[in-house]
Amino acid sequence: MDLKSKIRIIEGFPKDGISFKDITTLTSDGEAYKYTIDAFASHLKDKNVDVVVGPEARGFMFAAPLAYALGAAFVPVRKKGKLPCETVREEYSLEYGTDVLEIHKDAIKKGQKVAIVDDLLATGGTIEAVARLVEKLGGEVASIDFVIELTDLKGADKLKEYDVMSLVKYNI
């Protein structure tokens, strides 16, 4: 299936100069959404994944159904202050400052194989922080999977030590 044809491009959103890749048109097409989850599952089938981690918020849209398809656990990674129990946190850099991601301290057990799944790989900073959270808890990052990769931003370079897979690639 041509997933690129299922992704709506919105020029100038959220500001001039940005070419926004809208995955809601993909998720609202049942066949394309199923194909996407199945493609991730196929890539991960021999990796013995115990846990699928999805960062807030669009990562949830792919990680949760993928965890179900694999018979694995789903664990959310959230922005600071959104999780109710004791957390581990990781600060990461943004274009203009920093932000913090958190995961429950008991969400991943030492030695568990973890797939990290998100909608988009741009500069790689957010996912690099998610991988560090998984490793702080003793998890082993088995794969990092994306629906979309913006190749010109070279986010995959930050993730060289991991198995990274993207279903659709764009040069911006």
Residues with active-site annotation = 58, 95
What is the distance between the alpha carbons of residues 85 and 97, in angstroms, rounded to a whole number? 26
Could you give phi then psi for residue 24, rounded to 5 degrees? -65, -25
Helix, strand, or coil (residue 12) = coil
* C-alpha dihedral (47, 51, 57, 60), degrees to nearest 10: 80
Cis geometry, peptide bond prior to residue 32 (ω within 30 degrees of 0): no
Helix, strand, or coil (residue 10) = strand
CB contact at 8 A, 75 and 104? yes
Helix, strand, or coil (residue 148) = strand
- Which residues on adjacent β-strands are paired with residue 154? none
Q: Are strands 51-55 and 73-79 parallel, antiparallel or unpaired?
A: parallel
